[in-house]
Amino acid sequence: MNTDLRPQLERLHLAAFGWALHCCGRDRAMTDDVLQSVYLKVLDGTAQFAGKSSLKTWLFAVIRKTAAEERRRRIIGGLRFLSIDRSENSPSDDSVEESINVSENVEMFRKALAALPRRQQEVLHLVFYQDLTIEETAAVLGMSVGSARTHYQRGKKSCRRQLERMEEFNELRQGHQRPLPAAST
């Protein structure tokens, strides 16, 4: 087992989790499975880091590929073909999922993002969430820098539109919640 990469994997764990969560459509159980498969691939040498890019970029590309494989597998084979033991008490339990208390704006933003095309979502996530450059984003997604830039610009534009709608919605809601002026006697 390739243990040299272990400390580096640990350092990138939270970022990897965020990216895996995005690639798995925020499905926690699938994210856990994908992340474990990725770590297994990296540590047993099935996926080999050639050093052509940064470790983070490479790891993100492996996560994206593994998540795509997993999605395909689930679509084709159905869940019953997967030998997954879900009996463990993991943090992905539904109770934990329900207990997530995010602010309303973040939740709305999340929904707004879900309406964007997948490529735009990926580019925006990598740039804004993971702080990658457009060049690194292009490397992770296996596309040209020009394409990544186009997706980035379009994604930002769509996101702006969604934010404007959110603002309008919030204003409208605040207007409704404002107490009625007291009637003069």
List interacting residues with another protein (CB under 8 A): 9-10, 13-14, 17-18, 21, 28, 32-33, 35-37, 39-40, 70, 73, 81-85, 88, 90-92, 96, 100, 102-103, 105-106, 109-110, 124-125, 128-129, 156, 159-160, 163
- 28-43 and 55-77 helices, crossing angle to 10°: 120
Comparison of 100 and 182: residue with beta carbon closer to another protein: 100
Comparison of 70 and 136: residue with beta carbon closer to another protein: 70
Shortest gap between Cβ of 148 and another protein (angstroms)? Answer: 16
Lookup result for tokens 């997948």: 118
Comparison of 137 and 181: residue with beta carbon closer to another protein: 137
Shortest gap between Cβ of 52 and another protein (angstroms)? Answer: 24
- 104-114 and 145-177 helices, crossing angle to 10°: 140
Shortest gap between Cβ of 181 and another protein (angstroms)? Answer: 30
Instruction: Give how far Cα 83 sits from Cα of 29, 78, 86, 94, Å.
Output: 13, 11, 9, 20
Comparison of 135 and 164: residue with beta carbon closer to another protein: 164
Shortest gap between Cβ of 53 and another protein (angstroms)? Answer: 22
